[in-house]
Amino acid sequence: MSSSPDELLRIEGIRKTFPGVVALDSVDFDLRRGEVHVLLGENGAGKSTLIKMLSGAYRPDSGKVVVDGEEVRIQGAQDAARLGIATIYQEFNLVPDLTVAENIFLGRQPRRFGMIDRKRMEADAAGLLERVGVDVSPRARVRELGIARLQMVEIAKALSLDARVLIMDEPTAVLTSGEVDKLFRIVRRLREDGVGIVFITHHLEEIAALGDRVTVIRDGRSVGQVPATTPEDDLVRMMVGRSIELQYPRERTGTGAPLLSVDGLTRDGVFHDVGFEVRAGEVVGIAGLVGAGRTEVARAVFGADPYDRGSVAVAGRRLPRHDVNAAMAAGIGLVPEDRKGQGLVLDASVEENLGLVTLRAATRGGLVDLKGQRTAAAGMAERLGVRMAGLGQHVRTLSGGNQQKVVIGKWLLADIRVLILDEPTRGIDVGAKVEIYQLVNALTAAGHAVLMISSDLPEVLGMSDRVLVMAQGRIAGELSADEATQDAVMALAVSTPTGTPTGTPTAATTSDTDTDTTNNSATSGEGSRGH
């Protein structure tokens, strides 16, 4: 690989293996000053392994890393920092109980007369925060901040290290469109300052808007480097090795009787008078801005969160409120938006996670039918095409798309009637998305009902038979598949629904992530909040 005078970083022939898996094989990559180089590939292609090697978490088996024209060995995070390489992962590396300034300079606090110079630390932090354009006090506790501001604090922290190489792993996955625009402005400013940025995204439309070059990785190999203006169809073909004719392959069938009926559901200060039906064979989408109350409604329907008034019924049978076990017994399953925190037991195996929901049914006299569970798990993993070394592999080590298949698979094994999907394809590549959409088609074809919440508006429009739009904790309107356009949905999403008193607190005032993470347990739902 020939070098450029502006080259900051070069990787040549990197190979990395794990027991039974070749994660990377002869991968080449380079980064120049003042450019955004997009790293693109399916989940499990090797992107995470590559950036962990640059951050010092992993060491290559062979190949070399060159920084500023000299070969280097990155043995750990300190080596990466010394070389000016900073990584912002999907899961933020911040301490909730510390202030913003304390997090930015953690372990590197300025000192005076042997004591931490708090005044200088906060002043330096304020300068960095101003540079990234975020209006937050250096004294604010990190736990008080929303996702978008946490993202900016991570960038400020990276800049405090004098980072010349900034690696951003799915930075827009949980941001609203307005927050994405702000992040892009910051990235462009950093590019103008000469920072080289490695940008990982599954949103193909972001590539041409922000990127300069794209390197595509498939099955652990770099398969090509192309301009960021390359058509999306060509990028998809490079990623998955085949063309995907339909991005949203919804197969609409006839609908039957109502399976899920929600009437007047109200949780004071969060959502109010929410009512809808989902029929057999139907996908009903819920759209709305972050904070509109979509996730809170889904969790209340599933029994994970309480509500004050209203009712939930499955096939005409009313369910007791705030009772996960009753909801599961009636045939409701929930795939939560936070699959790692609430949907999986990360340190358990694929087999164990697939069997979580059916564990009670497989237990007789205190003994679990392990053979039956293993056979069922193996069949489901094969049906879903889970890419893994074996059923015993820890779920933590799977790619995001394969983790999501496991979360869905455990409910398919339970033969549920109604499946609630909350952000089902967040952080998942286009190939895995289509596979999940095909699972949705299979469910509805078999007479099940699907309630799908998504911040990805094209996804909602492409996969829903009807779209409910929430605003300020209420249903602002319902649109048929023919009526549902981006403009029509957004007009309802920003409206003030009838009956909403001025100043009424809603989910938007309690959370800007639309997520309740009071309890992160990821067990099978035996009275817990993990689903």
pLDDT digits (tens, 9 = 90+) for 170-225: 888 767 777 788 889 889 988 999 999 999 988 888 999 999 999 999 888 999 99
Average pLDDT value over all residues in the chain: 85
Residue 504 is predicted with a pLDDT of 43
Q: Which of 204, 202, 283 is nearest to 460 (CA)?
A: 283
* The residue to which tokens 């200088």 are assigned: 120
Inter-axis angle of helices 430-445 and 232-240, nearest 10: 80
Question: Does an H or E element contain 178, and which?
Answer: helix 177-192
Concatenating the DSSP letter of every residue in 420-442 gives EEESTTTT--HHHHHHHHHHHHH
Q: 177: how many CB neighbours lie within 10 A of its CB?
A: 12
In contact, 317 and 269? CB cutoff 8 Å? no
Among 251-260, 268-277, 342-351, the range with the most confident prediction by mean pLDDT is: 268-277
Residue 240 — pLDDT band, cuts 50, 70, 90?
confident
Q: Which of 201, 331, 286, 206 is nearest to 473 (CA)?
A: 286
**What is the DSSP pairing of strand 85-88 with strand 165-169?**
parallel
Question: Does an H or E element contain 153, and which?
Answer: helix 147-160
Question: Does an H or E element contain 301, and which?
Answer: helix 294-302
More confidently predicted of 459 and 277: 277
> Which one-letter amino acid corresponds to residue 157?
K
> Which one-letter amino acid corresponds to residue 443?
L
The rounded distance, in Å, linking the Cα atoms of 50 and 16 is 9
DSSP conformation class of 525: S
Residue 28 — pLDDT band, cuts 50, 70, 90?
very high
Residue 502 is predicted with a pLDDT of 46
Residue 512 is predicted with a pLDDT of 37
pLDDT, average across residues 274-281: 96
**What is the DSSP pairing of strand 449-453 with strand 283-288?**
parallel
> Which one-letter amino acid corresponds to residue 252?
R
Q: Which of 295, 220, 211, 243 is nearest to 35 (CA)?
A: 211
Query: Exposed (0-12), middle (13-18) or buried (19+): which is 176, by Cβ within 10 Å?
Result: middle
More confidently predicted of 253 and 101: 101
pLDDT, average across residues 31-59: 90
Query: Exposed (0-12), middle (13-18) or buried (19+): which is 226, by Cβ within 10 Å?
Result: middle
